[in-house]
Each structure stands twice: as C-alpha cells, then as structure tokens.
Amino acid sequence: AFITYDPEITGPRSLIAAVEELGFSAKIADGKNGGDRSEEQKAELEYLKFTLLCSLGLSIPVFFLGMVLHKIQEAPIKSLYSNDVVPGLSYANFLMLLLTTPVQFIIGKKFYKNAYKTLSHGGANMDVLVALGTSCAYFYSVFVIVMSIMQAPNSVTTTTTTTTTTTTTITTRDHVQTFFDTSAMLISFILLGKYLEIVAKGKTSDAIRKLMSLQATKATLLTVDNGDEKFQEIDIDMVQRGDLLKVLPGEKYPTDGIVERGQSTADESIITGEAIPVVKSKGDKIIGGTMNLNGMVVVRATRVGSETGLAQIIKLVEQAQADKAPIQNLADRVSAHFVPTVVVISIVTFLVWLVLCAMGVSTVWMHKDHETSPLRYALKFAMSVIVIACPCALGLATPTAVMVGTGIGAHNGILIKGGGHLETAHKITAVIFDKTGTLTTGKPEVTEWNVLPAFAKEKTKILH
C-alpha cells in the first residue's frame, strides 16, 4: 500500500498505531543498513584479499622465470631453459604455462564476465581491455609454444668443430619468447588496485559511520494527559514533528527543534566548530546531535529524520563520494572510444610489421631478437600495443582519489561537496573564515607568566 500524509499533522508513530488498530503489526523500515553494508564490504575485502594473495603466489614465480632467471648461467637454473619436457617445450615455459593458466581463467574469470556484459550492451570499459590484453599475452605465448613444438625437428642447429684430436658437436635450439609473466602480473596488479580501492571505500565509510554515531538513538517523549505529564522513551525514528522531548544534562539533543521550557547550555562544536558552550533558553533553536550540558530542557521537534541538519550533512558527504569529478567524466567518455581505438592501432601495427617482414626491411631486427617467423614477430608488436594500453590507471585512480579525499575531509570536519570541488581545490589561493577565536595552530604555548611572592626565592630555579 502507498500512503500519502502531511508530516505537519501526522508521522510514523501515528501511522504504526493506526495499522496496529486494524490487527496488523508494523515497524519503521531501516533505510540505513550501515551494519549490513559494513559486513558486505568486509566480506568483499576478505575475498579480494584471498584472491590477490593467490594471484601473487602464482604470478611472482612466473615473473622470475620469465624476466630474471633466464639471465643466470648457473647449471641448475640454465637447465630449465635448455632442457625440454617435450621437443620444443622447455621446462621453464612448461612451468609458466602451468602457473599462469589458473591466474588467467580462474582468478581472472570476473574480468571475462564483466567484459562480456559490457560488450553485450554495446559498451567497452577497462574490464574489456584487461580481458583483451591478458588474453593476447596468454594465447600468443601458447601459440608460439605450439609452433615451437611443431617445428622442433627443424629448429635444431648442430655445430660441429673438428680438431686434430677431437670432434665437438654443439646442439642449440631457437629461443622461444613467451609473455606468460605479462598476463599473470597484469591481472595481479589490477587486483591490487581494486583491493586498494575497496580499502579506501572502507575508510570513507568509517568517516560516514562516525558522523552517524553523533546522532541520538533514543528520545524521551513528553505527553500531557488530563494535566499530568507522562514520559516515554522511544526510538529516534518514532519522533514526529511537533513532539515535545525531554532532554537531561549530558544527553544529546535527539532532533532539531526549539526550546519550549527550561534553560541550559549546548556544546555545538561538532557542527559549528565553536568550542564555547552556547546558552539555550525558551525560543532558542536546537541542533540535533549536539550535547546538552548542564540543565534540563523541553524541546519541540521541528525537523526530524532525514530533515535534520546532521542528517543533511551525512547525506552531503555520501553524495560527494558518489559524485564524479570532471576528469572522471572525461575518462569515461575517452574509455568508450579508447578500446576500439587500441584494437584498430594493434591491427594496423600487425599489418605494417607483416609487410616490413615480407619486404625484408626487418630482417636485421629479427636476427637481433633471435626470431625466424615473420608472423610471430608481427604478432609480438600487435600484442604489445594492447598490453601496454591495458591498465588504464586514470579510470582506477580517479574514483579512489575522490572517495579518499572526501572521506578524510569529513573525518577532519571539512565537508567537500563533490569531486568537482575537490578537483579545483588546488586553485585555492585564499580561505575566508566567518568566525573568530576558534582558529589555533594546534600547539599550545605560554603567552605570559608570573611568580607568586611566596615562591619569589625559587624564581631563579623556575627560569632554569
């Protein structure tokens, strides 16, 4: 059922009472779900941490096998590259294939899923580029291994040296360069970036939860029945506009309102930054979430729920974190054209190098790279274009920077209205404050001192 009501006349407490009179039960829907979001975020972080550790555990050995160990000439290490599991497949390439496959297709499975969903809707994002780049590196490596196995009998070079007493025969095999390390480490780095992003979100959520903790959870409702005052403790969500609320010393004002009876002082520093308590008497406005210090007062609620000043501040911080900075919008617009552009450049690169190989222009470079196949040589350059374009740091770094910036600002009492304001903050040359006496350096220091007559003899010791 959809209910339309005037908040000036009725509220949630009256609606629940009306429903209960009909024989049903009702309660206020919890729209915050802060605890649930926190648990979900914690579970997501733990899963991503486990995935990242598994990915690094498999990728780091691949990195050393592909980038470091082949430079070592010691016999045990060198044998990994010189000895074959089957002709054309060295132990090093076999181990890299074995370790990279689960990283590519099990740990990196979600990149394929997200890429498929994006492409099915006619879009292209960073997941598409990650899936494309890592797949190119992986399948190129598999391709050159298969070619090496197929050409193994023809790729052996035998050199025979004969002297007057001995004959020495040296057998060598064409070098097969794979990029399993590129595929595995790229996925690990992207996962590391996503892990740091989730950590940043968690810190930002902590800032919001700290703001929410400033709100009162209970209120003491004052009702008058036949001239008798009755007090009832209710949840803050049950407070309606116009309710009379009793606030004792040391309690938080449950909602925005006006003092109807009593006199006290309020600590409003959490909202205004003013450290000096503010005197409150009949007719003065109250800010919800601030502290009642030394007197009992009765407050008439004027703004409740999401209408209070503190709730508006929390909403402002949440909106600021979801707001996209102009540079982020630019990154989104660029990424829509970036992926197809990279693919086109990669195809052009492949065709150009294939033509150069056919013309014999690249023969010297192929010889330096120990490459005999023009197809493999052209594919290597085409794949490099896609892999280099893959990380797309702008799309990952910008939202993280906005979330961390607004979260840290909120934690320190600085409310940033959005990513656009955060982006232009570097242009600020002057800051204007509308209050006096509240700005300090944060380092107390003695401005003047005096020695009482009774301690005049000890003055020299005090000075030293």
What confidence tier does 60 reach under pLDDT thresholds 50, 70, 90? very high
pTM score, whole prediction: 0.63
Angstrom distance (rounded) from CA 136 to CA 412: 46
Q: Which residue among 6, 225, 228, 434 is the active-site one? A: 434
Write the DSSP string, 428-449: ------S-SS----S-------
- Spatial neighbors of 74 by CB under 8 A, at least 6 apart, are none
Better-predicted residue by pLDDT, 317 or 181: 181
pLDDT tens-digit readout, 260-305? 999 999 988 877 777 788 999 999 999 888 899 988 999 999 988 8
Question: Minimum mean pLDDT among 47-61, 129-143, 226-240, 448-462: which range?
Answer: 448-462
Token pair belonging to 362: 């690249």
- Picking from 136, 133, 138, 130, the residue whose alpha carbon sits closest to that of residue 111 is 130
Angstrom distance (rounded) from CA 319 to CA 416: 10
* Residue 332 falls in the annotated catalytic set: no
Q: Write down the mean pLDDT value for the chain.
A: 79
Query: Mean pLDDT throughout 451-459?
Result: 67
Better-predicted residue by pLDDT, 250 or 165: 250
Query: Mean pLDDT throughout 369-398?
Result: 74
Angstrom distance (rounded) from CA 213 to CA 301: 20
Angstrom distance (rounded) from CA 193 to CA 191: 5
